[in-house]
Chain A
């Protein structure tokens, strides 16, 4: 699971959960992969992201590095920042571990890089 996916996932489907966001990442195995930098895509994607959740996710997997705490203005032209974002969003992959609901502590397992967001029949 890439952190870009984490940024979009919630546990709102669980009964009585209001936000369910951001999910906490417990990473047992993290892999770094090499992916070509696509500046257009990253700069198009940034406004759709929740910045705080991204920083939180980066901390969870130990890749906070020097990402700024708030999204700086003029990021579209800051290639250095966009490259960093590219790395954290697309190149850091959680292979095994789980995602945890911030409200109910329900755990969603991640195996083989694929998160399992299915709820049990008594949770829907």
Chain B
């Protein structure tokens, strides 16, 4: 009744105050929820980085529905006014129709006003003054600070950079609180208190975001083909999905792997995927988990799944494998794979996963896996360029009635995604969604790397940065039609994904400065790209100029690092020759996260002859770009790039 009344009223603006994390997922999540509930949304303000979104919706019930699913919106307010200055704000609030305000400020309604500031702590006296300034509103009810019917919020936004907080806010809003988002689920479903977890259990927040992108609703069938410990099933079941999961790892499904919790020595008998659902009272949504090879899924070829949500192993913390052996011939589609990386391992080596699992240091992980490959007993050729290592998980015989355990071979990432897409094309219902993570090496990434299938349409592609060099992208595909006869197996996957593991471990050997150089290629990661910064730039033209200089200098640092690797061999040769002179250039590097620091570059050239050890020194000032050019034109080889603690880069150059 009240809803229909409100629906007749004109559309209103709502301020969605968002969590300041997973920024790339914010809009896709909102769009996905809105389309799931058929909520018409008009986007009024959609800043790229600032933690708010302003939308127009037809009624408050729609706003509440949106909030009932959103993980990335903290709170929703009916926007009464906004402005960049106090005058603008108050004139804006005054022009908000009185008939929209009055019902909430009527004599029978208690009210309270809260003042909040983003990125600043306000004094009580300041807050009071701001509340007093709202006295022109037609308040008629009584104040109730505990259980007010109407909560007005006065929000000030001081940008995203905690190191340069402006004296006056960039933006001010006044709104009536409508609903909270679902942020509390993050704590309630935290992996810290989860019954059964493994090394790659999905973080609760991301799992919920994934289920939102997949539009899981009550009564739907959800499947996770790389189920692991079932962390995604928990979120899907919470929204009412009925969940199936499968995985090739017998030990994981039977909760017999080495515990990943720091203090835990043994798996408890109560640990299982089903127990994770029971923990939250969701057992009625549990269908089954089965041990199954994704290269050979044995499901009946009918469209019975409404959403496939999964996180395939990348070969870093969990190995990618399928059943197979060198000794037998395999389908033609895997021929290429066979020639490069078919190492059959009959070791009773169950430790590969678990050792890599517990290590957080990627360099160590690399060493571990390498040693494992070398211990293969029936290895034919250990090809060092293969993208995945071969491991066999050989469960203890008491867990199964069968005595034979199939050997497993590596399953390249390209094939993983290809099989996943083909599976989705057959088994999803029309409109059903496939949501999965695609690990990418950031430098290599381009849109062509996103797997595609003629029956699946790309909905969203959001990046989560993992390390300076790699990230994973959450890909959401929607099934638009059933495949025809030949279309069942034509998923298109760029070959590049197969190289992810190799690139990942190469990158883990990078020096700190090579890392920084890569980091500067992706300035979007940096904080402070929000409204605050944009305004600051416009105000101060000199800072803009400095940012340009900064960009150039960063380029030169990259070039320097490239040169370092390129000339490694020459350096080795040069090491044996008498060093005639050394040119040293000192480059003061940029502040880590801040582009707007002034740049000072000094170049010192030092010539040392071996015989008389006479030194001559030239000092000059130049931009870094020039420094590098002059160094390279002099036919010099960069000898060593190292750092000192002040964050300076010293490049030694041999003439």
**Which chain A residues lie closer than 8 Å to B274 at the CB level?**
113
**Which chain A residues lie closer than 8 Å to B287 at the CB level?**
2, 4-5, 90
Beta-carbon contact of B288 and A40 below 8 Å? no
**Which chain A residues lie closer than 8 Å to B292 at the CB level?**
117-118
Q: Which of B182-190, B320-328, B473-481 contacts A (4 or more CB under 8 A)?
A: B320-328
Determine the residue in chain B with the shortest Cβ distance to A111.
B400
Among the listed B291, B327, B401, which residue makes an inter-chain contact with A117, where contact means beta carbons less than 8 Å apart? B291
**Which chain A residues lie closer than 8 Å to B219 at the CB level?**
38, 40-41, 44
**Which chain B residues lie closer than 8 Å to A10 at the CB level?**
298-300
Q: Is A121 an interface residue (CB 8 A)?
A: yes
Beta-carbon contact of A119 and B323 below 8 Å? yes
**Which chain B residues lie closer than 8 Å to A40 at the CB level?**
218-219
Beta-carbon contact of A121 and B290 below 8 Å? no
Beta-carbon contact of A122 and B325 below 8 Å? yes
In the assembled complex, the Cα of A35 lies from the Cα of B274 at a distance in Å of 13
**Which chain B residues lie closer than 8 Å to A107 at the CB level?**
402
Q: Is A29 an interface residue (CB 8 A)?
A: no
In the assembled complex, the Cα of A11 lies from the Cα of B297 at a distance in Å of 9
Beta-carbon contact of B406 and A120 below 8 Å? yes
Q: Is B104 an interface residue (CB 8 A)?
A: no
Report A59-117 residues with CB < 8 Å from chain B CB.
Answer: 90, 98, 107, 109, 111-117
Q: Is B302 an interface residue (CB 8 A)?
A: yes
Report A1-21 residues with CB < 8 Å from chain B CB.
Answer: 1-2, 4-5, 7-13, 20-21
In the assembled complex, the Cα of A120 lies from the Cα of B402 at a distance in Å of 11
Q: Which of B55-63, B135-143, B242-250, B434-442 contacts A (4 or more CB under 8 A)?
A: B242-250
Beta-carbon contact of B291 and A38 below 8 Å? no
**Which chain B residues lie closer than 8 Å to A116 at the CB level?**
250, 290-291, 400, 402
Please, what's the 1-or-0 string for B292-336, where 1 marks a CB less than 8 Å from any CB in chain A? 110111111010100000000000000000011101101000000
Determine the residue in chain A with the shortest Cβ distance to B404.
A120
Beta-carbon contact of A118 and B288 below 8 Å? no
Least CB distance, B423 to chain A, in whole angstroms: 13
Beta-carbon contact of A5 and B244 below 8 Å? yes
In the assembled complex, the Cα of A4 lies from the Cα of B288 at a distance in Å of 9
Least CB distance, A29 to chain B, in whole angstroms: 12
Also in contact, A124 and B289, with CB within 8 A (given A40-B218, A119-B406): no
Also in contact, A9 and B290, with CB within 8 A (given A38-B284, A48-B302): yes
In the assembled complex, the Cα of A90 lies from the Cα of B287 at a distance in Å of 7
Question: Interface size for chain B: under 10, 10 to 19, 20 to 34, or 35 or more residues?
Answer: 35 or more
Least CB distance, B198 to chain A, in whole angstroms: 16
Least CB distance, B296 to chain A, in whole angstroms: 4
Q: Is B18 an interface residue (CB 8 A)?
A: no
Q: Is B253 an interface residue (CB 8 A)?
A: yes
Please, what's the 1-or-0 string for B257-299, where 1 marks a CB less than 8 Å from any CB in chain A? 0000000000000000010000000011001111111011111
Beta-carbon contact of B402 and A109 below 8 Å? yes
Least CB distance, B429 to chain A, in whole angstroms: 9
**Which chain B residues lie closer than 8 Å to A1 at the CB level?**
288, 290
Least CB distance, B339 to chain A, in whole angstroms: 17
In the assembled complex, the Cα of A107 lies from the Cα of B289 at a distance in Å of 18
In the assembled complex, the Cα of A44 lies from the Cα of B296 at a distance in Å of 27
Beta-carbon contact of B290 and A5 below 8 Å? yes
Beta-carbon contact of B299 and A114 below 8 Å? no
In the assembled complex, the Cα of A93 lies from the Cα of B433 at a distance in Å of 29
**Which chain B residues lie closer than 8 Å to A113 at the CB level?**
274, 288
**Which chain B residues lie closer than 8 Å to A122 at the CB level?**
325, 327-328
Determine the residue in chain B with the shortest Cβ distance to A28.
B401
Least CB distance, B294 to chain A, in whole angstroms: 11
Also in contact, A115 and B291, with CB within 8 A (given A5-B244, A109-B401): yes
Beta-carbon contact of A8 and B300 below 8 Å? yes
**Which chain A residues lie closer than 8 Å to B254 at the CB level?**
111-112, 114
Q: Is B399 an interface residue (CB 8 A)?
A: yes
Least CB distance, A123 to chain B, in whole angstroms: 8
Also in contact, A9 and B300, with CB within 8 A (given A120-B323, A121-B325, A122-B328): yes
Least CB distance, B409 to chain A, in whole angstroms: 8
Beta-carbon contact of B327 and A121 below 8 Å? yes
In the assembled complex, the Cα of A4 lies from the Cα of B305 at a distance in Å of 13
Determine the residue in chain A with the shortest Cβ distance to B256.
A112
Q: Is B221 an interface residue (CB 8 A)?
A: yes
Least CB distance, A88 to chain B, in whole angstroms: 14
Determine the residue in chain B with the shortest Cβ distance to A122.
B328
**Which chain B residues lie closer than 8 Å to A118 at the CB level?**
248, 250, 291-293, 323, 406
**Which of A2, A50, A98, A115 is most buried by chain B, counting CB atoms within 10 A of its CB?**
A115
**Which chain B residues lie closer than 8 Å to A111 at the CB level?**
254, 399-401
Least CB distance, B304 to chain A, in whole angstroms: 4
Among the listed B289, B300, B325, which residue makes an inter-chain contact with A21, where contact means beta carbons less than 8 Å apart? B300
**Which chain B residues lie closer than 8 Å to A41 at the CB level?**
219, 242
**Which chain A residues lie closer than 8 Å to B248 at the CB level?**
118
Among the listed A8, A98, A120, A121, which residue makes an inter-chain contact with B299, where contact means beta carbons less than 8 Å apart? A8
**Which chain A residues lie closer than 8 Å to B289 at the CB level?**
114
Beta-carbon contact of A9 and B328 below 8 Å? no
Also in contact, A98 and B291, with CB within 8 A (given A48-B302, A120-B406): no
In the assembled complex, the Cα of A119 lies from the Cα of B289 at a distance in Å of 17
Beta-carbon contact of B298 and A48 below 8 Å? no
Beta-carbon contact of A35 and B283 below 8 Å? yes
**Which of B218, B250, B253, B402 is most buried by chain A, counting CB atoms within 10 A of its CB?**
B402
Interface residues of A (CB under 8 A from B): 1-2, 4-5, 7-13, 20-21, 35-36, 38, 40-41, 44-45, 48, 50, 90, 98, 107, 109, 111-122, 124
Given contacts A5-B288, A98-B401, A124-B293, list 18 more A-B pairs with CB under 8 A.
A9-B290, A10-B299, A21-B300, A35-B283, A38-B284, A48-B302, A50-B300, A90-B284, A109-B400, A111-B400, A114-B253, A114-B290, A115-B291, A118-B406, A119-B406, A120-B406, A121-B323, A121-B325
Q: 21 A-B Cβ contacts within 8 A?
A: A1-B290, A9-B298, A13-B293, A35-B283, A44-B220, A48-B302, A90-B284, A109-B400, A109-B401, A111-B400, A113-B274, A114-B289, A114-B291, A116-B291, A116-B400, A117-B246, A118-B291, A118-B406, A120-B404, A121-B323, A121-B324
Kindly list the 3 A-B residue pairs having the minimum CB-CB distance in the complex, ordered from nearest: A121-B325, A13-B296, A5-B288
